[in-house]
Amino acid sequence: MAPRFPVDDNRYPSRMLRRSGRALMRVIYNLTMYVLTPVILYRLAIRGLRHRGYLSRWAERFGFFPDPGLKESLWVHAVSVGEVNAAAPMIDVLRERYPQYPVVVTTVTPTGSDRVRRIWGDSVFHVYLPYDLPASIRRFLKRVRPKLAIIMETEIWPNLFFCCHERGLPVVVANARLSERSLRGYGPVRPLARMAIRCAEWVAAQSQQDAERLIELGADRSRVIIAGNLKYDMDVPEFLDEQARDWREAWGERRPVWIAASTHEGEEEKVIDAHSRVLRRFPDALLLIAPRHPERFRPVLQLCRQMGFRTSCRSEDGLASADSQCFVIDTLGELLGFFAASDVAFVGGSFTTIGGHNVLEPAALGVPVLVGPHTFNFTEVTDLLMESGACLRVADDAELARTVESLLDDMSRCHHMGNRARGTVEAQRGALRRILSMLKSLLGPKTAL
């Protein structure tokens, strides 16, 4: 496969200089990665004190794992839970259309790993993606022998892309997004990022803005398509409505219920404070709270109880009881069900500079969405929902409480917002079809066993 970046020719001094400059950048980058590896492992161990999953399977992070005996696999990389969920419909269709190719799914986080195993079990091969060290990436590729690499969203690791390129392995960046902040964040490694993304066969951007930023980063304009956001194509299980009715009957069918999802440290206090205000207006209100990271499960449970709320949790109690005021969702993979059982949803990561999380899940279920001031990770999606009247932005915990009260006090408005949310998601579907069409150009027509 011909390189995407210009081929240097010794007859041209300027090209020789560019070649030597790129080679030097790669050497400096690799040296930096090797120097930082002990720091990365130390950080991994520290995280492992709060989430035991980070303490296991370290060998995989350097490309060491038993050879699974695969040949011409379809490799999909999805960093964590959100990316796995977004990739799931695509992976399911690929498995159906191309059963002759085994599927490999890599993640970076233990929660992403757990999600892969929950969805597919042993029907796909799963390991952690190795760190971006040349030898580690080569070991990984030698073991899984991919025919095609599909990188979800924007994981632009230079050695990963270069090693794939050197093997003639087509790389597709699917559901690609790049915020203005992330674009600026490449800083001194931007030339390397430019070289890396130009190795991609196709880049399927979520929006026009993402496409322009990816091109500014260095993507070949002729190989960038605007496919839309795969998360709009999320599968909504039919059983959720019935399950939601059963759950609400268990904790009180007529109770007002709101959920705070994907919250971070520093946000939970604001959410709980907002709930204390909501309870003054609605004494029987129930707050469902789902921390983003498992290490926050126990601290949030303790925080709710320290604040004097009658609190139960998913792992110990199953469901909230009729007298529960707070219910901590301390499990993974069940958030859709709790969104479906809620009247209003606040999506976390938006009261902090994290930049917000996926607002499409509650929207697809017809639940009004609230966000804080910081949503730069999902700017286009959030703006679209706000323009359609499906989403409201709140500045702080006091405004969060007032807005939740207002919606719970006017269920017709609540239902109207929810209907607008569902309609907006439905209107934006189609990314999966466009991405599959693009992949077909690389894989050929579907094959049945």
pLDDT of residue 17: 45
What the block records as the tokens of 259 is 């959920």
Q: Is the alpha carbon torsion for 400, 403, 405, 408 positive or negative?
A: negative
Residues 205, 117 share a domain: yes
Residues 246, 151 share a domain: no
Spans of the chain below 70 pLDDT: 1-21, 446-449
The pTM assigned to this predicted structure is 0.80
Please say whether the beta carbons of 19 and 186 come within 8 A.
no
Residues 261, 156 share a domain: no
Residues 437, 415 share a domain: no
Q: Is 33 a member of any domain?
A: no
Question: Which residues are identified as catalytic?
Answer: 83
Query: How many Å apart are CA 155 and CA 320, to the nearest integer?
Result: 38
Query: What are phi and psi for residue 111, nearest 5 degrees?
Result: -65, -40
Residues 435, 415 share a domain: no
Q: What is the DSSP letter of 2?
A: -
pLDDT of residue 49: 81
pLDDT of residue 380: 84
Please say whether the beta carbons of 172 and 200 come within 8 A.
yes
The residue range of the domain holding 110 is: 49-228+430-443
Query: How many Å apart are CA 419 and CA 435, to the nearest integer?
Result: 27
Residues 418, 368 share a domain: yes
Q: Which of 446, 441, 7, 18 has its CA nearest to residue 201?
A: 441
Query: How many Å apart are CA 346 and CA 366, to the nearest integer?
Result: 13
Residues 361, 267 share a domain: yes
pLDDT of residue 11: 43
- Overall number of domains in the chain: 2
Q: Is 14 a member of any domain?
A: no
pLDDT of residue 18: 58
Map residue 160 onto helix, strand or coil.
helix
Please say whether the beta carbons of 209 and 220 come within 8 A.
no
Q: Is 448 a member of any domain?
A: no
Q: Strands, DSSP E only, in 153-254?
A: 171-176, 202-205, 224-226
Q: Please list, residue by residue across 129-143, b when 16 or more beta carbons sit within 10 angstroms of its beta carbon and e when fewer do.
A: bbbbbbebbbbbbeb
Residues 214, 276 share a domain: no
